[in-house]
Structure 1
Amino acid sequence: MEANSITQTRTEKAGGSSTRSAYATIKRKIMDNEFAPGMQMPEQQLADYLGLSRTPVREALIRLAQEGLIEVIPRHGMRVLPVSVADMKEIYEVLVSLEPMATELLAKRRPDEKEMSRLIEACAEMEAALEADDLQTWAKADEKFHFELVQLCGNRRLASMVMGVWEQSHRARMITLRMRPKPYESTREHRAVVEAILAGDAAQARELYRQHRSKAANAMISIIEQMGMSQL
């Protein structure tokens, strides 16, 4: 391979790495509402903020626009898009259908405490976070619980579908986190689901999870509507 070809290949790899870095960083800040709905930022300012050139940033923005997270504004960078109440209703209709199924599949496998250690650990982390009045840590533990549960269910396609949709609800959960009552009841419900799974009671585990997810969905959508927000 000629020297100029090797240099070009290395440059392309470096550019791809920069694009992935820009994409991951911007997306995480949008998901955690550090980049709030409606926020606008010029492309050059965003590139300076990330310490990157404009090309990988532009490529990352195109990808994020395709995912429906931002709007690319010519000559003006990006605008973070809102999530509508209608979107949230659709997202939770999917989750209420699929997540209980994942819970049932997991319970039927009769996992032991060692296999369930990450779920048990997440429950303990939620309880400790509530005692410390640390809702951000509680939210991370809650996310860990849901992620681990679907990963353990044994159906990779179901897990992939759940996680793809679940991620879309993350921004709304973070926005309403401090508008909801302290999640003591939700934390107890997580623990009850774990106990039903360990007992091998698939029907009970599924029903407990369905009730938990339905209750969470109704509470979140109700808060958004009561606040008079048609969009987040």
Structure 2
Amino acid sequence: MTTGTASSRAPEKEHAAGKMSATAYVAMRRNILDNVWTVGFQATEIEISEMLGMSRTPVREALMRLQQEGLIKVTPRHGMRVLPVSPDDMKQIYQILTSLESTAAELVAARGLSAEELKPLKRASEAMDEALAADDLDAWARADEQFHTHLLDLCGNEMLRGVVLNFWDRAHRARMVTLRIRPKPVNSTKEHGALVSAIRKGDVAKAGAVQRAHRERAGEELLGLLTRLGLSAL
């Protein structure tokens, strides 16, 4: 009986361990992407375990995942170090975002959605305007991300949505680094308005073109800033 009970509990322990590892991964990744842990930040497994209030095993597993993503470098007995944002990586990521988000915009326009269904895009665009008027760049960045997320939610292609959101997370880190040193983002708000207008009219070609131009402009601006800052400054 004892053996059977222990055996039945094994899957439960594995499930719990998997949840702890996932929790550690999400928390650490968010710290890096939001620049809470800035480039060059270093910490040992023990220090991170204490920060997160969990054992070293899930932390170690999470560190391996983050290293595979190129966000950190793990050195035995020395812990991990947050790696810099690479302009080359961002260039490739923005090429992907430009292509796939343009496709998403076309898909949304082709669906003939109602004004009610398009309300999330309108609300996010209005929130961006309000944030700019209040000079609240953090609120603007949140509203901008909500706009792009809603666009993906409405495109009707879950695979495309998943791929874009993965790369969007990576781009988020670079955007937060440059948020306060780039020109006031009035162009993004205007471009979002033009995109919503094209979608409402069901103009597939224009929706794709507007989104492509928006991403190309934003990408060039971001890459220019990253290059001028230099990797050591990130």
Name the aligned partner's letter for residue 206 of structure 1: G
From 61, 64, 75, the equivalent of 2:63 is 61
Q: What is the RMSD of the two structures over their aligned residues, measured on CA atoms? A: 1.6
The residue that corresponds to 2:164 in the other structure is 162
Name the aligned partner's letter for residue 161 of structure 2: A
From 38, 41, 44, the equivalent of 1:39 is 41
From 106, 111, 114, the equivalent of 2:113 is 111
Q: How far, CA to CA, are the matches of 2:163 and 2:221 in structure 1?
A: 23
Q: Return 5+ residue gaps in structure 2 as ranges.
A: none
Provide the aligned length of Structure 1 versus Structure 2. Answer: 232
The residue that corresponds to 1:178 in the other structure is 180
Does residue 12 (structure 1) correspond to residue 6 (structure 2)? The answer is: no
The residue that corresponds to 1:191 in the other structure is 193
Name the aligned partner's letter for residue 133 of structure 1: D
Name the aligned partner's letter for residue 61 of structure 2: E
The offset of 1:230, in angstroms, is 7.0
Q: After TM superposition, what 4+ stretches of structure 1 lie above 6 angstroms from structure 2?
A: none
Q: How far, CA to CA, are the matches of 1:18 and 1:158 in structure 2?
A: 28
The offset of 1:231, in angstroms, is 7.6
Q: How far, CA to CA, are the matches of 1:53 and 1:37 in structure 2?
A: 25
From 83, 86, 89, the equivalent of 1:87 is 89
Q: How far, CA to CA, are the matches of 1:139 and 1:11 in structure 2?
A: 40
Q: How far, CA to CA, are the matches of 2:194 and 2:16 in structure 1?
A: 48
Q: Deviations over 1:51-93 (max 9, x none)?
A: 0011111111111112221111111221111221111111111
Does residue 223 (structure 1) correspond to residue 225 (structure 2)? The answer is: yes
- Do the aligned partners of 1:15 and 1:56 also contact (CA within 8 Å) in 2? yes
Between the aligned residues of both structures, percent identity stands at 49
Q: Return 5+ residue gaps in structure 1 as ranges.
A: none
TM-score, normalised to structure 1's length? 0.94
